[in-house]
Chains A and B, each alone.
Chain A
Amino acid sequence: MKDLLGLKDVSGQEIRRILDEAFRLKKEVLEGSKKDSCLSGKSVITLFYENSTRTRLSFELASKYLGATAANIAASGSSVAKGETLIDTAKTIDRMAADIVIIRHSASGAPHLISRYTKAAVVNAGDGMHEHPTQALLDLMTMQEKKGRIEGLRVAIVGDVKHSRVARSNIYGLHKMGAEVVLAGPSTLMPADLEAMGVKTYCDVDRAVYGADVVMGLRIQLERQKKGLFPTVREYHKFFGIDERRLKLAAPDAIVMHPGPVNRGVELSADVIDGPQSVICDQVTNGVCIRMAVLKMLAER
């Protein structure tokens, strides 16, 4: 594996290896005192064309915990703002001998484009509405950790599926690991021919959540309401939000996940976010572990 551009082309076996490595690193590096300097001497660059707090910090800390030299490029303060093309930026970074480039971009396919012009390993940290593979990996890790398995789980993903790279990567990852995926959201926020991806879709969230082992809310960007994709935030929460009543329809030991940041009282009610079934904070911790594992495996290639 040269790059991690998406989970579409990653095998279940490779996903398993990444998860195993992430669990090991969690124990040894995050929870233990043992140092791991497997990325010592490697340079990791984060190139973020979109705002991000947790993903960026998570990658940055992951690379530092493993001893890498990390540098950040914020699109607004760089030559990007002066109109440099993505390819020219890629070539420039390449000439500075970067080992790994982590890119987030609002255009689907941007990491794929960059990967053709650099020798460095490219990690997709979210591209447009396409994929966000490390998010799906950390979601898988969290499910494995909390449920003891992924295979056979029924996972309900609820919200703005159309614009969600998290949903797409999760569909691929969950299918490869043998889970069942059901999706729900307003029909204006469901992409075309979704069922051809091998998932069940519902507009009735109750039906999607019913019996689910995992209930995952997706972030809704409030600008979507301005574009007329749903009438009001109030109506959205009423029909598509996960509250305590809806959560009761899921399996009694179901866990609640969200890629963050959450709009409290919109995708999830406050009681659900802060409730005993929520594993949102564990997702954040596992995010660092997954990113350590991915960086380590790409550096070893």
Chain B
Amino acid sequence: MSLLIKNGLVIDPQNHTEAVMDLLIDGGVIKKAEPEIVAPDAEVYDASGKVVAPGLVDLHVHFREPGLEYKEDITSGSHAAAKGGVTTVVCMPNTKPVVDNAALVKYVINRGKEVGLINVLTAGCISKGQKGAELSEIGELAAAGAVAVSDDGRPVVSSSLMRKALEYAKMFDIPVFSHSEDLELVDNGSMNEGYMSTVLGLRGIPKAAESVAVSRDVLIAKQVGGRLHVCHVSTRDSIEAIRAAKKCGVHVTAETAPHYFTLTDRACDGFNTNAKMNPPLRDEDDIAAVIEGLQDGTIDAIATDHAPHHRDEKELEFEQASNGIVGLETSLGLGVTYLVKTGKLTLCQLIEKMSTVPAQIIGFDRGTLGIGKIADIVVFDPDATYTVDVSKFESKGKNSPYDGFQLYGRVDMTITGGKIVYRNTEY
């Protein structure tokens, strides 16, 4: 079956395309992209006034399967992704058990295929059991399809293990995703250290807890090579460390999450556990630095760190509540509203950060609308607003600080491999 998307603003950062035209999809691939395509047999979708872009690639999600399905599973996570315009995700391996062997890598990928909505990819663990002691079988993980290795959720405490991970993973050409955090400096903190932590009487996490660890990681990467990818960057000093490393030619990439350019630690006021995440929400200066980092390319990608939790894990004393928020169903809207509508990034740059570059980081042939490429596509209306309503989330997790926010960038259709996997029926 073929699909003809008419009159959309087709944006393909990889091919420097940004023009109103038609797009013909047939046999799961992009057949044509030109004005006034005639295809009598194709289903026609009128995308006038809308953007047609490569489907989003989210490098950092927690689908919780296997083992923690009460929070999320690959089915609900895939639906959430499709609704958010995300056609490829990289699952973090901190499941139960952790994904530190080839069998589990295959399990996650196969479950994703069974569900069949989006490309569910996974990272494998850096260390066996995520214990931070010995390398896991990174070669086997890569051969089974893991696109990265990460101990995400926990930092690699040992500098020596981080060195070995970078050296070893280099042989298999997969990046090491680093959750960079100095636990001694965290010292049981539960939110950013600053005025708000003082007022709320909550133990603060200094910015240095992240920046020190990021600095360590880029310096190790400088020494031994490998492909370092720094996850969820949130502080100015981390960004400056990455910027300096890039300048010296270190092979480092970095991602941030929408919450780090939209919210400050003031969102924690009233002990709001939906504003509790790790790294914690910072302050205005860090938001400015994150945006500068996105603008000058220091930060390559926007990933959600989609972290669904059961309400019983959030309706608790702040210090006891789990870290993390769901993000798949709000990421594009937050990007459009806080980066594009404010003039910080162009739509093309936003798509580059949310699709093209993340696909390149994991070496996955997506993130483009080139002719002959697999048709993973998002169609969204950058000027239409919608109100975030967590009760309507496809994700099992309702833990979002954005409930009630008005956002631009409504997703109207998501296509994976030429198949429509989400269609907005409310409008």
Q: Are B318 and A191 in contact (CB under 8 A)?
A: no
Q: Please, which residues of chain B bring their CB within 8 A of the CB of A105? A: 317
Q: Are B318 and A107 in contact (CB under 8 A)?
A: yes
Q: Are A112 and B195 in contact (CB under 8 A)?
A: no
Q: Are A197 and B270 in contact (CB under 8 A)?
A: no
Option from B194, B201, B319 in Cβ contact (under 8 Å) with A192: B194
Q: Which of A25-33, A122-130, A288-296 contacts B (4 or more CB under 8 A)?
A: A122-130
Among A85, A86, A112, A192, find the residue whose CB has the most chain B CB atoms closer than 10 A: A192
- Report A165-206 residues with CB < 8 Å from chain B CB: 165, 168, 191-194, 196-197
Among B201, B270, B319, find the residue whose CB has the most chain A CB atoms closer than 10 A: B201
Residue of A with least CB distance to B271: A109
Is residue B202 within 8 Å, beta carbon to beta carbon, of the partner chain? Answer: yes
- Report A72-104 residues with CB < 8 Å from chain B CB: 85-87
Q: Are A108 and B198 in contact (CB under 8 A)?
A: no
A139 CB to nearest B CB, Å: 17
Is residue A113 within 8 Å, beta carbon to beta carbon, of the partner chain? Answer: yes
Q: Please, which residues of chain A bring their CB within 8 A of the CB of B320? A: 107
Query: CA–CA, A107 to B195, complex, Å?
Result: 18
Is residue A137 within 8 Å, beta carbon to beta carbon, of the partner chain? Answer: no
Interface residues on A, range: 20 to 34
Is residue B426 within 8 Å, beta carbon to beta carbon, of the partner chain? Answer: no
Query: CA–CA, A124 to B54, complex, Å?
Result: 53
A298 CB to nearest B CB, Å: 21
Residue of B with least CB distance to A161: B198
Is residue A255 within 8 Å, beta carbon to beta carbon, of the partner chain? Answer: no
Q: Are A192 and B197 in contact (CB under 8 A)?
A: yes
Main secondary structure of the interface of A (DSSP, over half): mixed
Contact A193/B315 with A107-B320, A112-B270, A113-B271 known, Cβ cut-off 8 Å:
no
Query: CA–CA, A194 to B200, complex, Å?
Result: 12
Is residue A214 within 8 Å, beta carbon to beta carbon, of the partner chain? Answer: no
Could you give, for residues 315-326 of chain B, a 1 whenever the CB lies within 8 Å of some chain A CB and a 0 otherwise?
111111000000
Residue of A with least CB distance to B312: A85
Is residue A131 within 8 Å, beta carbon to beta carbon, of the partner chain? Answer: yes
Q: Are A192 and B195 in contact (CB under 8 A)?
A: yes
Query: CA–CA, A112 to B193, complex, Å?
Result: 21
Is residue A136 within 8 Å, beta carbon to beta carbon, of the partner chain? Answer: no
Residue of B with least CB distance to A116: B315
Q: Are B200 and A192 in contact (CB under 8 A)?
A: no
Among A105, A127, A128, find the residue whose CB has the most chain B CB atoms closer than 10 A: A128
Is residue A4 within 8 Å, beta carbon to beta carbon, of the partner chain? Answer: no
Q: Please, which residues of chain A bring their CB within 8 A of the CB of B315? A: 85, 87, 113
B312 CB to nearest A CB, Å: 7
Q: Are B197 and A112 in contact (CB under 8 A)?
A: no
Residue of B with least CB distance to A227: B187
Query: CA–CA, A191 to B200, complex, Å?
Result: 11
5 closest cross-chain pairs (CB), A and B? A130-B201, A109-B271, A129-B201, A107-B317, A193-B195
Known: A107-B317, A192-B195. 15 other contacts (CB 8 A): A8-B199, A85-B312, A87-B316, A107-B318, A108-B319, A109-B317, A109-B318, A112-B270, A112-B271, A113-B315, A191-B197, A192-B194, A192-B197, A194-B198, A197-B198
Interface residues of B (CB under 8 A from A): 193-195, 197-204, 270-271, 312, 315-320
- The 12 listed contacts between A and B (C-beta, < 8 Å) are A8-B199, A85-B315, A86-B317, A87-B316, A108-B317, A108-B319, A109-B271, A112-B270, A192-B194, A192-B195, A192-B197, A196-B198
